[in-house]
Structure 1
Amino acid sequence: MIDFGSDRPVHRQLADIIRADIAAGRLKPGQPLPSETRLMQQYELGRVAVRQALGVLRSEGLIVTVKREGSYVRPQVPIERVILRVAAEVSARMPSPDERKRLNIPEGVPVLVIKQPRQTERLLPADRTILVWSENGQ
């Protein structure tokens, strides 16, 4: 439940509750979350706090929101292992809207930018990429 006397903002507390439900499997991948109105009633919160909580979860890549439909637990995606040479440079950043669309990633998920000698720069979704370092790139 929400502790209105806590120093922790109520929207963060609601995000914690929903995150725990996802982690425990009470909310499964692809399952819709309760509507904003239902969350407002259930937790006695205003619309702004509910939207902020959903925004936190979206930024963590745990949920996706579809306009005029609602929010859903993000479906699980396959993980790709990428082998890197020692000389590789890796950085992370937020993708542009076009990159998000091309890579099919929701808002809030960063991308990894990989630069390796004699190879084209690669852009990979950070939430489904595991980087493996190798002395010889194999």
Structure 2
Amino acid sequence: MIDFGSDRPVHRQLADIIRADIAAGRLKPGQALPSETRLMQQYELGRVAVRQALGVLRSEGLVVTVKREGTYVRPQVPIERVAVERAAEVTARMPSPDERKEFHIPEGVPVFVVKQPGKRNQVLPADRTILVWAVEEH
């Protein structure tokens, strides 16, 4: 429940509740969250607080919102292991709008940029990429 006497903002409390439901499996990948109206009624909150809570969860990559449909628990995506050379330079940043569209990256998810000598730079979604050192051959 929401503690209206708490120092923690109510939208953060609602985000905590929904996050816990996702972590516990009560809300499953691909499942729709209750509507904004339903969340407002259930937790006795205003629309702004509910939208702020959903924004927090979107920025964490836990949910996706589809216009005119609703908000869903983000489906699980396959993890890819990518080998990088020891001389590689790896940085992390937020993706451009074009990269978000190209790689289907939800709001709040960064990308890795891998620069390897003699190779084209790679942009990889950080939520579904594990970087591993390439095995050196002798």
TM-score by length of 1: 0.95
**Paired residue for 1:94?**
94
CA distance in 1, matches of 2:88, 2:97: 26
Structure 1, residues 94-130: CA drift from partner, whole Å, max 9, x if none? Answer: 1111111111111211111111111110000010001
Match for residue 7 of structure 1? 7
1:64 matches 2:64:
yes
* Matched residue, 1:131: 131
Partner of 1:74: 74
User: Does residue 47 of structure 2 align to residue 53 of structure 1?
Assistant: no
Percent identity between matched residues is 83
Match of 2:16 in 1: 16
d(CA) in 1 for partners of 2:5, 2:52: 19
Amino acid at match of 2:111: V
Q: Is the 8 A contact 1:11 1:50 kept in 2?
A: yes
Question: What residue ranges of structure 1 are gaps of 5+ in the alignment?
Answer: none
Cα deviations by residue, 1:67-94 (Å, 9 ceiling, x for unpaired): 0111000000000001111111111111
**Post-superposition offset of 1:135:** 5.7
- Provide the alpha-carbon RMSD of the alignment: 1.1
User: Are 1:83 and 2:83 an aligned pair?
Assistant: yes
Q: Matched residues in 2 for 1:103 and 1:41: separation?
A: 36
Q: SS in structure 2 opposite 1:114?
A: strand
Unaligned 5+ residue runs, structure 2?
none
Counterpart of 1:47, as a letter, is R
Moved more, 86-95 or 26-35: 86-95
Over residues 26-49 of structure 1, what are the superposed CA-to-partner deviations in whole Å (9 max), with x where a residue is unaligned? 000100000001001100111111
Q: In the aligned structure 2, how far is the partner of 1:16 from the partner of 1:133?
A: 36
User: Counterpart amino acid of 1:90?
Assistant: V
1:41 aligns with 2:41: yes
